Structure 1
Amino acid sequence: MALAAAAMWGSARLTWVTVSSTDGLTEARTDELDGSDWFGALTPLALVLLAAIAAVLATRGWLRRMVGVLIGLVAAVTAVPSFALLTGSGATDERAATLAELPGRATVTEVVAAPMPAWLTLAAAVAAFVAAVLLARMPRETAQLSGKYDNPVFRRAAATEQVTRADAPAAGLSERVLWDALDAGTDPTEEAANPDAATVKSRGGESGGNDR
């Protein structure tokens, strides 16, 4: 997605079409239309891709697949103008005259389309489409953002579970997990030294809470 966004941003600043015209009264006129003129959505779509990168890191499951669908739509929209220009299937001359804001008496003498920006945009569309497919196929268990952005409540509960497991000695746990366990009121050294007693203590605390 980052590569696609960079390619779209660069393409928006390249000259796509050069229009030569004359009105019979003044000197011949030449207008260069860059990507932002020819396809004004290029830069906004590049920004959408950058925002989608953050969305991918912050979501998982069906939400992440929805982001993939959005990226697929961006890829399709991006491919249309470049494909039309490369194949000559669009009304290039009329569109060029309109975008160049030529006066009514002007006559277009030549329209030259530069293939390189269109190919670059098409490559960006392909990259975005590949990203969309990968997102759709991404395993559900794929991690979200780094642990420091997780909900503290769930993070502490997970840390308590790790330190109370008999097969997870405190020495093998990360410092972050140990601190989260302490924040949750669990002593990692105590749990590691006597896991069976810790389990009994934990169950006793749950029973006491239920009695109250």
Structure 2
Amino acid sequence: MSAPGADTPDPGDLAGPAAAPGPRRYPVGPAALLAVAAALLWASSRLTWVTMVSSDGLTEPRTHALDGGVWFGALTPLALVLLAAIAAMFATRGWLRRVVGVVVALLAAVSAVPWFALVSGHSRTAERAARLADLPARARVDHVTTSWLPVWLSLAGALAAFVAGALLARMPETTARLSGKYENPVFRRAAAAERVAGQHNRGEEQSVRTDPSEADQPLSERVLWDALDAGADPTDDDPGRRR
């Protein structure tokens, strides 16, 4: 009869598979929100925000349609910057990705400025419309109409961008960035050489262990080739030896 506890599995062995880190997740949600925000801001910049009727007493009254790109010239550039933020988000991680999130949140606040100005009445719509339409001095503004659909579209885009920025600012370290095939080959080879050297060091430490489950996973073929290109020999058991 075996001794008590002889067949009892080690709690560490039971916790090992469960404690293994899961696959890195890509920030698909923030990317989708940024794409939606960019689309909404771009659409808002193409629609008419303010329609103004002016007259100068000499000719027939004229109607001026001011779209979002004219009323708030930063709408289209903001949409392009949000699209660029998607690429920056996938190319970074850690604190750099959090910085991208903070920048996106600030851009979202800027995008909401024209909506707030029109809703609160601080934009002086008639005066601004006359200035943007470049009316002559003798002309006067007879009537001004605000189209609220594009205004609210811009607010929806700003809110989507703000949520995306907040998610990026709180993104955990387990999220991944773009595939390593887009990395600079010089840095990739240097990293491969460091991994090979670290594998050798860990191999020396594990030579005294009796549990084969503690062995590290083998390096991929790509890492081995990058290490060879960097001048590191993956087959050298004593990389520190010099002739």
| Same structural fold, with TM-score higher than 0.5 when normalized by the shorter chain | yes
The answer as to 2:223 corresponding to 1:180 is yes
The match for 1:77 is 110
Q: Alpha-carbon deviation of 1:141?
A: 3.6
Which AA in structure 1 matches 2:222?
W
Q: Once the two structures are superposed, what CA deviation does each residue of 1:87-135 show, in whole Å capped at 9, x if it has no partner?
A: 4332111111111111111111110000000000000100110011011
User: 5+ unaligned residues in a row in structure 1: which ranges?
Assistant: 186-190, 192-197
The answer (yes or no) to whether the contact 2:189–2:226 under 8 Å persists in 1 is no
The match for 1:145 is 178
Please point out which of 129, 139, 156 is paired with 1:106: 139
Quote the Cα distance in structure 2 between the aligned partners of 1:182 and 1:47.
39
Quote the Cα distance in structure 2 between the aligned partners of 1:162 and 1:123.
51
Which AA in structure 2 matches 1:125?
A
Which AA in structure 2 matches 1:29?
R
- Identical pairs, percent: 57
The match for 1:8 is 41
Distance change (3 Å), C-alpha of 1:162 and 1:26:
farther
Quote the Cα distance in structure 2 between the aligned partners of 1:183 and 1:53.
29
Q: Alpha-carbon deviation of 1:21?
A: 1.1
SS of match in other structure, 2:114:
helix
Count of matched residue positions in the alignment of Structure 1 and Structure 2: 190
Please point out which of 204, 215, 226 is paired with 1:166: 215
Q: Once the two structures are superposed, what CA deviation does each residue of 1:129-181 show, in whole Å capped at 9, x if it has no partner?
A: 0011011101124222112123322553477468978353x6xx8xxx22331
The answer as to 2:132 corresponding to 1:96 is no
Quote the Cα distance in structure 2 between the aligned partners of 1:51 and 1:103.
40
Which AA in structure 1 matches 2:147?
A
Higher helix share: 1
The match for 2:192 is 156
User: 5+ unaligned residues in a row in structure 2: which ranges?
Assistant: 1-33, 204-213, 229-233
Which AA in structure 2 matches 1:118?
V
TM-score using structure 1 length: 0.79
